[in-house]
Amino acid sequence: MAQTFETIMKYPAADEKLAGKALEAAAGIAREDLARFTDCFPSSNSINGFYEATENVEWTTGFWTGVLWLAYEYTKDNIFREAAQIQVESFYERIKNKIDVNHHDMGFLFSLSCVASYKLTGNGRAREAALMAAENLAGRYREKGSFLQAWGNVGEASEYRLIIDCLLNLPILYWASETTGEARYAKMAENHIRTAMKCILREDDSTYHTYFIDRETGNPAYGVTHQGNRNNSAWARGQAWGIYGIALSFHYLKDESYIRLFERVTDFFLRHLPEDLIPYWDFDFDTGSTEPRDSSAAAIAVCGMLEMSKYLDKERAEKYTEAAKRILYALIEKCGNRDIAQSDGLLLHGTYARGSEENTCKNRGVDECNTWGDYFYMEALTRVVSDWKMYW
């Protein structure tokens, strides 16, 4: 079915009371999880509902620290603050010793852990760690093509590409410029989003997951998927990274041309939502499919719509706020975990990766919780109950 704004408006919306109850439940589960995950981290996705413990590696550990900061802000309980600060030390060591940081995910890792710590508590080590992370990311900027290379060794021919997820890594560069007064970080971020939107947005307003750049000329070459169903399909989480990523760059740059980009990417997402408003992992699938959902895509999109609504005219702000609150209602009712005996995650029914004929993924975290789903769910709830100041 094709959703329209009118059909979406017929669904119930999450209000402050419902979001508050869901936030209470989420903070309660996070409190129980603390005993296991203070000196180590939950792994990227749950297995049969429960997270295994991991060292501070991969791109996903910052989400759990972000959950702790959100829980601290909501409860004012120092137990969360102290655990988060212990983890900030781990991030300091990680970037200082360059442990698993040869990739672009510095924003996911360091905005939600260290920038959050600095903004909320003034922690100087957190600021230092976040600035080292920004510098590390800046090292991935390629003049030839004007973009941040996502994966692999910088300059490597087989990895000369950008990916849509990187839009969420740009805020740490904007923040670094604001904090240090050095314009170069923000300039790289601004150039990257310009290049990215030129490449990845298709005529029908869906998006490519990844896009190769010609290493000799710097011109956009071709798009392929990594985690989507097909090279030409719309991976649901990728589309959601687009929504929130554009909103975050708008927050820093106030470039009016992003408003139209935001509308195009977001309206595609909304039009293709299935009957229960929880997207399948790729928009190739619609109501009635037996393919798994990706609740995390919905949570990310909700945060993006709520952020962007702050800058839109009244009519458009209302449209996206109301759509976001309806998706959030569906998430609370269908995916919000209230029972630690069932799972130690906060948001059920996510999909990390699903193998298909055209992608190179193996199934991973299918119909499971994942740490970013938990984080963005909690951020979305926080946005509905308070005038939240972003960590991004």
Q: Which is nearer to ligand GLY, 44 or 177 (CB)?
A: 44
Q: Which is nearer to ligand GLY, 13 or 168 (CB)?
A: 168
165, 190, 294, 368: which one binds ligand GLY (CB under 6 A): 165
Under a CB-based contact definition with an 8 Å cutoff, are residues 96 and 111 in contact?
Answer: no
Beta bridge partners of 364: 353
Contacts of ligand GLY in 321-380 (CB under 6 A): none
Q: Which is nearer to ligand GLY, 18 or 193 (CB)?
A: 193
Q: Which is the catalytic residue, given 165, 205, 267, 282?
A: 165
Contacts of ligand GLY in 195-234 (CB under 6 A): 227
Minimal distance, residue 237 CB to ligand GLY, in Å: 5
Q: Which is nearer to ligand GLY, 145 or 373 (CB)?
A: 373
User: Distance between the two ends of the chain, CA-based, in angstroms?
Assistant: 35
- CA 236, 304, 308, 147 dihedral sign is negative
Give Dmax over CA atoms of the chain in angstroms.
56
Under a CB-based contact definition with an 8 Å cutoff, are residues 242 and 301 in contact?
Answer: no
Minimal distance, residue 290 CB to ligand GLY, in Å: 22
Residue nearest ligand GLY, CB atom distance: 165
Contacts of ligand GLY in 49-88 (CB under 6 A): none
Minimal distance, residue 59 CB to ligand GLY, in Å: 6
Size of the site for ligand GLY (CB under 6 A): 3
Q: Which is nearer to ligand GLY, 247 or 312 (CB)?
A: 247
Listed in sequence order, the residues at least 6 apart from 331 whose beta carbon sits closer than 8 Å to its beta carbon are 278, 295, 298, 299, 302, 347, 377, 380
Contact code string over 231-260 relative to ligand GLY, x by CB under 6 A: ------x-----------------------
Q: Taking CB under 6 A as the rule, does residue 161 contact ligand GLY?
A: no
Which contiguous run of DSSP H or E holds residue 142? strand 141-142
How distant, in Å, are the alpha carbons of 232, 233, 323, 331, 356 from that of 284? Answer: 10, 6, 21, 21, 12
Listed in sequence order, the residues at least 6 apart from 319 whose beta carbon sits closer than 8 Å to its beta carbon are 5
Distance (Å, whole) CA 123 – CA 299: 29
Minimal distance, residue 170 CB to ligand GLY, in Å: 13
Q: Which is nearer to ligand GLY, 95 or 240 (CB)?
A: 240
Under a CB-based contact definition with an 8 Å cutoff, are residues 84 and 72 in contact?
Answer: yes
Q: What is the three-class DSSP state of 184?
A: helix
- Percent helix, percent strand, percent coil in the chain, to nearest 5: 55, 10, 35
Distance (Å, whole) CA 89 – CA 146: 33
Minimal distance, residue 300 CB to ligand GLY, in Å: 9
For residue 105, indicate whether it is catalytic.
yes
Distance (Å, whole) CA 249 – CA 262: 11
Minimal distance, residue 166 CB to ligand GLY, in Å: 8
Q: Which is the catalytic residue, given 105, 205, 282, 344?
A: 105
Minimal distance, residue 227 CB to ligand GLY, in Å: 6
Contacts of ligand GLY in 7-36 (CB under 6 A): none
Q: Which is nearer to ligand GLY, 113 or 227 (CB)?
A: 227
Q: What are the backbone dihedrals phi and psi of residue 374, each rounded to the nearest 5 degrees, phi first?
A: -60, -45
For residue 294, indicate whether it is catalytic.
no
Burial, 392: exposed, middle or buried (Cβ in 10 Å; 0-12, 13-18, 19+)? buried
Which residues contact ligand GLY by CB under 6 A? 165, 227, 237
Q: Which residues are catalytic?
A: 105, 165
